[in-house]
């Protein structure tokens, strides 16, 4: 109950009266924000009933208000505790020895999570409902390669090209035909870097994305992934730019080099890649580099262009397939049609990974054909082959 009390209702200081004992009979309840009757101890056993200022029902109501406030506070604290416990669930497994954790991973004994259990920065695809790894340390992330989860196919599809390039890099470029030629060797190593860079960044990102360091570390992993793609876009274009501009008049080539158009577009793409904070921004950051590639293809088809005619189909396919893969990743097809049923196999990101691997295969075929064209046609005075 609310009771408004004015000082004028009481007598002068020191005067005693019936209203002057108000503060002796009532007290302020901080939980209900009301003035309630004060509970006093009885003066003696004989007159205990007369000494009580409140009835049992009033006393119980006051205590009930206090108990309800304490219960609500405890419930809120418990909800916060349960949420933190869910996010860190499975963390105790990381306290195992490396050997024990290795055996658990080999046996597929790791607990997988649903999307509701993951922190917000890992809930980026609402159509993938399960198969998420628990938050873990570095060794836990690395050993996650050994068991099945919703990032397994992403890791395997880009780990396989790394192994292939490391084992068979000598077959990916006509090294025997460019012995002693510094310029063509630089082109060759640029091609090797372009062939392996995106896979390295992608494997690091997809393997370590379940690390327990939080969104800041996740953003760093995204930047590593984007930097690898940027290296492929730029280094893979070196040979294309060379043979496309081979027949361009010398004065025009000098003017293009003076303005450094392709370099400006490349570094603009790198800046956008490292500062992008949304999935769409990360996909659009390579638009400047892609524009330079389109201009290069137009130059190749003109009377000033060059290159091996037999590999022209591969030149088109390397860009068409990579762009198509990016579109599949944006529209979230097919998991949008079957939410929760393609969590482990062949969702849009898995399909995109496979498509970009195929695109780089076409890049390798186009590059090998063009480099042989350069060896057979380029003027020895500017770039001697022998």
Whether residue 59 sits in one domain with residue 168: no
134 within a domain of the structure (yes/no): no
From 349, 16, 384, select the one nearest 150 (Cα to Cα): 349
pLDDT over 60 (residue 186) = yes
Do the annotations mark residue 353 as ligand-binding?
A: yes
According to the model, what pLDDT value does residue 10 have? 41
Higher per-residue pLDDT: 54 or 74: 74
One domain for residues 67 and 168 = no
Which pLDDT value is given to residue 357?
A: 94
- Give the chain's domain count: 2
Nearest-5° Cα angle at 350, 345 to 355? 135
Q: Are residues 176 and 309 in the same domain?
A: yes
pLDDT at 14 over 50: no
Q: Tens of pLDDT along 129-144?
A: 999 999 999 999 999 9
- What's the average model confidence in pLDDT over 248-261? 54
Cα–Cα dist 312/15, whole Å: 109
Most confident of 62-71, 119-128, 237-246, 295-304: 119-128
pLDDT tens per residue, range 313-372:
998 998 899 889 989 988 999 999 999 999 999 999 999 999 999 999 998 898 888 888
Among 15, 37, 72, identify where a domain stops. Answer: 72
Residue 155 backbone phi and psi in degrees, to 5: -70, -45
Residue appearing with tokens 């492929």 = 232
| 206 annotated to a ligand binding site | yes
Other Cβ atoms less than 10 A from the Cβ of 6: the count is 6
Greatest mean pLDDT range, 32-41, 88-97, 282-291, 377-386: 282-291
Same domain, 367 and 226: yes
Does the annotation list 211 as a binding residue?
A: no
Tell me which residue range forms the domain holding 364: 154-377
Average pLDDT over the chain, rounded to whole? 76
Q: What is the pLDDT of residue 105?
A: 57
| 319 plus 201 within the same structural domain | yes
How much of the chain is helix, strand and coil, in % rounded to 5? 65, 5, 30
276 occurs within a structural domain: yes
| Residue where a domain stops, chosen among 45, 72, 99 | 72
Q: What pTM was estimated for this model as a whole? A: 0.67
């Amino acid at each position: 109950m609310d009771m408004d009390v004015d000082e004028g209702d009481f007598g002068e200081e020191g005067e005693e009266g019936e209203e002057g004992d108000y503060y002796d009979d009532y007290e302020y309840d901080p939980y209900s924000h009301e003035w309630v009757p004060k509970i006093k101890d009885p003066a003696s056993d004989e007159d205990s009933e007369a000494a009580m200022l409140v009835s049992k029902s009033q006393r119980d109501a006051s205590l009930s208000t206090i108990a309800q406030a304490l219960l609500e506070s405890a419930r809120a604290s418990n909800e916060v505790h349960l949420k933190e416990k869910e996010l860190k669930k499975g963390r105790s497994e990381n306290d195992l020895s490396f050997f024990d954790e290795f055996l658990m991973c080999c046996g597929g004994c790791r607990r997988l999570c649903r999307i509701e259990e993951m922190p917000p920065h890992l809930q980026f695809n609402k159509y993938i409902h399960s198969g998420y790894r628990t938050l873990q340390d570095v060794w836990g992330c690395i050993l996650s390669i050994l068991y099945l989860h919703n990032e397994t196919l992403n890791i395997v599809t880009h780990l396989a090209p790394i192994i292939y390039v490391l084992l068979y890099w000598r077959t990916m470029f006509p090294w025997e035909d460019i012995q002693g030629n510094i310029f063509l060797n630089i082109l060759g190593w640029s091609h090797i870097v372009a062939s392996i860079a995106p896979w390295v960044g992608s494997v690091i990102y997809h393997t370590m994305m379940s690390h327990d360091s939080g969104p800041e570390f996740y953003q760093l992993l995204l930047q590593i992934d984007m930097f690898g793609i940027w290296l492929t876009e730029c280094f893979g274009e070196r040979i294309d730019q060379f043979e496309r501009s081979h027949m361009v008049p010398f004065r025009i080539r000098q003017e293009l080099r003076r303005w450094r158009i392709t370099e400006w577009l490349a570094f603009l793409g790198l800046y956008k890649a490292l500062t992008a904070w949304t999935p769409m921004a990360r996909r659009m950051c390579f638009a400047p580099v892609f524009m330079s590639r389109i201009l290069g293809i137009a130059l190749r088809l003109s009377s000033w262009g060059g290159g091996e005619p037999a590999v022209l189909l591969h030149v088109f396919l390397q860009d068409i397939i990579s762009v198509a893969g990016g579109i599949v990743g944006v529209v979230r097809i097919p998991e949008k049609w079957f939410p929760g049923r393609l969590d482990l196999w062949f969702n849009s990101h898995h399909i995109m990974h496979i498509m970009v691997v195929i695109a780089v295969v076409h890049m390798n075929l186009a590059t090998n054909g063009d480099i042989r064209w350069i060896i057979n046609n380029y003027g020895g005075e500017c770039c001697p082959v022998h």
